[in-house]
Amino acid sequence: MAMTVISLENMSASLTARFVIQKHDATRLHYDFRLEMDGVLKSWAIPKEPPTEPGVKRLAVQVEDHELSYIHFEGTIPEGKYGAGKVEVWDKGTYTLKHRSENKIMFTLHGERLSGNYTLLRFKQDKNWLFFKNKNSEKA
């Protein structure tokens, strides 16, 4: 029997998964943006509030993947532990993946605060990405 390989590029428009943004008041206040992807939560730390309007770009620093169970986490990480500080869910919902390559991820967010077409764009094979709402984005 022949095996058929379907690339993510060909099926990406139909993939829907969960996302969460956790407001994390650690050493510095930031927002942890997490996409359910590849069986884990792919994660980025965003130093400023995530963009709700097109034209606003935010730095998003890719950090270690988290277990899927972390999508619901809210609480206080104790002093002395990595990430010590208060964590609360700032936004949550689902997203539809539109495109995924090594340096670019495009998706539509269906959240309580963020809604519409967004892009993560990597800087030169680095852990630093740009996160922004696309200019042609309508409220989803």
Tens of pLDDT along 48-106?
999 999 999 999 999 999 999 999 999 998 888 888 889 999 999 999 999 999 999 99
- Number of helices (H) and strands (E) in the chain: give both, helices first: 1, 9
- Enclosing domain of residue 69: 13-133
The answer to whether residue 5 is domain-embedded is no
The answer to whether residue 128 is domain-embedded is yes
Asked if 3 contacts 15 with a C-beta cutoff of 8 angstroms, the reply is no
The answer to whether residue 138 is domain-embedded is no
The answer to whether residue 3 is domain-embedded is no
- If one counts the domains in the chain, the total is 1
The answer to whether residue 110 is domain-embedded is yes
Look at residue 137 in the predicted model and tell me its pLDDT: 63
Q: What is the mean pLDDT of residues 5-30?
A: 73
